[in-house]
Amino acid sequence: MRLLLVEDDDHVAAALAAILARHGFSVLHARSGDEALRALTPPPEPPIGVVLLDLGLPDQDGFEVCGKIRKRVGVPVIMVTARSDVRSRIHGLNLGADDYVVKPYDTGELIARIHAVIRRPAQPEDPAASSASEVRLGPVHIDLPTRKVTVDGGPVQLTRLEFDLLALLAQRPGVVFRREQIISEVWQTSWEGTGRTLEVHVASLRSKLRLPALIETVRGVGYRLVAPAA
């Protein structure tokens, strides 16, 4: 599979490219945001399967680059950065990043995360698949076939994984979903390192829906959806 590595440090890029090559990836290296966008527009042949995006680029911030990528192509994006604060993680995921890896990282962990996003189909099967085509929880309306969410009639823009997470919890409001079950069904992996990513996605959902109490944390177990009072 072809991979686009967006990294301005040639030494870091060369070392990582060598590791990725040993795992079967063909690496295209871009040293700036402009180079990355040119590499993706129009979609190249053979296509790029995943983008590893550093945030500290010389010409523009990586967050800005991610937003531009999302407007042009649907390729999975993994942010790889030294910015470890939760706000940066949430902001990156809100912009459409599929995952967020903090430097320094274990290369085995990075490879596992790359394979995890590759396994996700471009339009994943709805984890809330059922006979119902929509779910209403107070002011929240979830349209499953179109993957659209509104709150009080206003649209809420969710990433692919945020929608999948919300749809899964909406299957059975009030029922606790174990963390392991959520990770298995939404991320399609049992890898324990995904746990932190789950927490960030829950925080992002609470912020976007503007209903912090909608998703309740059941300490030591998992999460459940609490229907708002009418």
Based on the domain organization, do 15 and 89 belong to the same domain?
Answer: yes
Summarised one tens digit per residue, pLDDT across range 126-170 is 443 434 578 888 899 999 888 999 999 999 999 988 999 999 898
Based on the domain organization, do 164 and 85 belong to the same domain?
Answer: no
Final residue in a domain of this structure, among 88, 119, 150: 119
CA within 13 Å, CB half, 4: 31
CA within 13 Å, CB half, 159: 25
pLDDT score recorded for residue 191: 52
64 near 38, Cβ under 8 Å? no
- Dmax over CA atoms of the chain, in Å, equals 58
Q: Is residue 14 part of a domain?
A: yes
Nearest residue to 221 (alpha-carbon basis) of 161, 162, 177, 168: 177
CATH number, residue 40:
3.40.50.2300
Based on the domain organization, do 108 and 140 belong to the same domain?
Answer: no
* pTM confidence score: 0.60
For residue 119, is pLDDT > 80?
no
Final residue in a domain of this structure, among 60, 85, 119: 119
For residue 47, is pLDDT > 70?
yes
How many residues are given for the chain? 230
Domain boundaries, position 32:
2-119
Summarised one tens digit per residue, pLDDT across range 169-224 is 988 888 888 888 788 778 766 555 566 788 899 999 999 999 989 999 988 888 99
Facing residues of 50 across strands?
3
Contacts of 62 (CB under 8 A, 6+ apart): 6, 33, 53, 54, 55, 56, 79, 81
Q: What's the Cα-to-Cα distance from 1 to each of 115, 119, 151, rounded to whole Å?
A: 11, 12, 39
Tokens (6 digits) for 121: 């189909």
Based on the domain organization, do 141 and 106 belong to the same domain?
Answer: no
pLDDT score recorded for residue 128: 39
3-state DSSP of 124-169: CCCCCCCCCCEEEECCEEEECCCCEEEECCEEECCCHHHHHHHHHH
Q: Give the H or E element holding residue 206.
A: helix 195-209
Summarised one tens digit per residue, pLDDT across range 52-83 is 999 999 999 999 999 889 888 888 999 999 98
| Number of domain units in the chain | 2
Based on the domain organization, do 201 and 139 belong to the same domain?
Answer: yes
Helix (H, G, I), strand (E, B) or coil at 38: helix
Helix (H, G, I), strand (E, B) or coil at 17: helix
83 near 93, Cβ under 8 Å? no
Question: How far is residue 128's CA from residue 90's CA, in Å, rounded to a whole number?
Answer: 24
